[in-house]
Amino acid sequence: MADAMSYKLNLSDLERDGDVSITQQLVDRFAAAIDAGELERGSKLPPTRELAAEAGVNHLTAARVYRKLAELGYVTAQVGRGTFVRTLAPAGSASHGDDWQVYALPPDDTSYSEQVLADTFSLANREGVISLATGWPAPSTYPTQELARIAADVFEEIGGEALSYLPAEGLFDLREQIAARGRMYGYAEDADELVITSGAQQAIALSARATLEPGDVAVIESPTFIGMMTAMRGTGARVIGVPVDEHGMDVDALERLLARHEVKLVGLQSACQNPTGSSISDERRARLAELAVERNFFIIEDRVYADMHFDGKLVRPVRELAPAHVLYVNSLSKVVGGGLRTGWVAARGPVRDRIAMLKLEADFHSPTLIQHMAARWLATGAYDRHVAGTIPFYRERRDALLAALERHLPGEYHADPPEGGHHVWVTLTRPLDERALYAEAARGGVMFTPGGAVTAERRSQTSLRLSFSLLDPDQLDEGVRRLARAIREVRRRARHSVAAPMS
């Protein structure tokens, strides 16, 4: 990493008698140097004492300069380590150029998951990269022709109404269509229970904000879906993980946690969990529902993969056993189109009203045209038939990924075949530095989701999430081949250096 002192921060011409305070002048110079890229992201700033001596100011002034830079988001202070230029570089930010170096993950754990999530969105379609990090549905499975026709019908029939405002909770017709499915599958009884959101991600984020205050304790499965974790952390809550195994969330572990903490919210994917692909057992499901009622916590039950079980099994939702305590989340993203951003949450009573109010504050409502399209597509009755059609497609890709792992990493990993969904959770038999692997894999043209980014503890040296949904069998094979090569390279380097790997 670059050393700030090697960057010539010109301090000779500070104006001691000018209108602008010395503090502000120093803040401006650092900020300008960071904006201009002269001071690299991730580089460490000199200790305040050094800056004070260099600039001829006292120690408190120097500390104030760094505090201001931190407030402005330019730097981040790490306890016991010093002050660093922020490495946060979200999807498509100007700094995401062609330089692979930017895929060095941030040293501060707080933005690790966020950075990995952002990379997923910015790298999915990047030329020359095989992204095993991207668990999006394949656009070829979407009912594009039908939606094009439906869009034309909507404009034809309702005209300018398709461009007008709606109430926050969304179009009644769409909520009715979803409630009709909800009555069949145990997740909603009435359109009034539903709030339409911009995808499951917004449903989760609003549900978390409706139920958590800063400092509250929330529990997630670990590993989990990154978006669930970042949404909960975004509320300022303390997020604790419980293990998830082939029978779903470890409810005994949750119960032990409940004895020590006042838990306000538990988040899980009860069917075809991301990333393990496992589903909750009937016994655990019943116990979890009991606990929610007894201990009075809310559950976010994310069901985005529930209809995509490869054996066609219907895993019943926790929601039907504790309807007042479960905020049931789903979307059309895996079936009709992720770019539609059409999701929903089913909830009852005051928490449903709070979610609707937060939706209003967040963005008023989700786009009107899209809601009409979704309602009409659901009204065609094509949902179940359409989903059934995609299952063999994704099952073939799952099998191709499992075969590629066996081919390129024999004896070096363990992976349970997922029951459904888009991901395989791979555990290496020997640990390695996952950040080093992330950078090395990117250099070699393959991306994956490092385990540490999807675990509550933010650390893993053995697990990776590999997604198969977007790649055909040949691409999956080539991706795993590149990944295996990167793993070998990182192991080789680790053997040649007992010092800490890449900083």
Nearer to a copy of itself, 159 or 381 (CB): 159
Q: How far is the CB of 11 from a copy of itself (least distance, A)?
A: 20
Q: Which stretch binds a copy of itself (CB under 8 A): 83-91, 251-259, 301-309, 446-454?
A: 83-91
Nearer to a copy of itself, 357 or 379 (CB): 357
Q: Does 340 bind a copy of itself (CB under 8 A)?
A: yes
Site string for a copy of itself, 116-135 (x = CB under 8 A): -xx--xx-x-----------
Residue whose C-alpha is closest to residue 302's, from 229, 373, 353, 372: 229
Among 1, 253, 351, 391, binds a copy of itself (CB under 8 A): 351
Q: How far is the CB of 377 from a copy of itself (least distance, A)?
A: 11
Q: Which helix (H) or strand (E) covers residue 292, if one does?
A: helix 282-295
Q: How far is the CB of 358 from a copy of itself (least distance, A)?
A: 8
Give the CB-side neighbour count of residue 76, counting CA atoms within 13 A: 13
Nearer to a copy of itself, 230 or 276 (CB): 230
Among 284, 319, 352, 491, binds a copy of itself (CB under 8 A): 352
SS (H, E, C) 46-111: CCHHHHHHHHCCCHHHHHHHHHHHHHCCCEEEECCCEEEECCCCCCCCCCCCCCHHHHCCCCCHHH
Q: Does 361 bind a copy of itself (CB under 8 A)?
A: yes
Contacts of 215 (CB under 8 A, 6+ apart): 236, 237, 238
Q: Which stretch binds a copy of itself (CB under 8 A): 55-63, 265-273, 335-343, 422-430?
A: 335-343
Q: How far is the CB of 290 from a copy of itself (least distance, A)?
A: 10
Which of positions 90-119 make contact with a copy of itself (CB under 8 A)?
90-94, 111, 114, 117-118
Cβ neighbourhood burial of 332 (10 Å; 0-12, 13-18, 19+): buried
Q: Does 394 bind a copy of itself (CB under 8 A)?
A: no
SS (H, E, C) 403-442: HHHHHHCCCCEECCCCCECCEEEEEECCCCCHHHHHHHHH
Q: Which stretch binds a copy of itself (CB under 8 A): 4-12, 143-151, 305-313, 459-467?
A: 143-151
Which of positions 184-203 make contact with a copy of itself (CB under 8 A)?
192, 197-199, 201-202
Q: How far is the CB of 3 from a copy of itself (least distance, A)?
A: 21
SS (H, E, C) 124-153: CCCCCCEECCCCCCCHHHCCHHHHHHHHHH
Which of positions 212-251 make contact with a copy of itself (CB under 8 A)?
214, 227, 230-231, 234, 236
Helix (H, G, I), strand (E, B) or coil at 342: coil
Among 182, 241, 248, 337, binds a copy of itself (CB under 8 A): 337
Distance CA 104, CA 89 (A): 11
Q: Which residues are 221's β-sheet partners?
A: 242
Nearer to a copy of itself, 166 or 242 (CB): 166
Q: 């830079």: which residue's tokens?
A: 69
Distance CA 405, CA 480 (A): 6
* Cis ω for the linkage preceding 410 (within 30 of 0): no
Residue whose C-alpha is closest to residue 326's, from 297, 304, 355, 305: 297
Residue whose C-alpha is closest to residue 155's, from 379, 383, 381, 376: 376
Q: How far is the CB of 335 from a copy of itself (least distance, A)?
A: 11
Among 14, 77, 151, 286, binds a copy of itself (CB under 8 A): 151
Q: How far is the CB of 169 from a copy of itself (least distance, A)?
A: 5
Q: In the 8-state DSSP scheme, what is residue 113?
A: H
Q: Judge contact between 438 and 115, C-beta under 8 A.
A: no
Site string for a copy of itself, 38-77 (x = CB under 8 A): ------------------------------x--xxxx---
Q: Does 364 bind a copy of itself (CB under 8 A)?
A: yes
Among 11, 253, 369, 502, binds a copy of itself (CB under 8 A): 369
Nearer to a copy of itself, 349 or 392 (CB): 349
Compute and round to an integer the Cα radius of gyration of the chain.
25
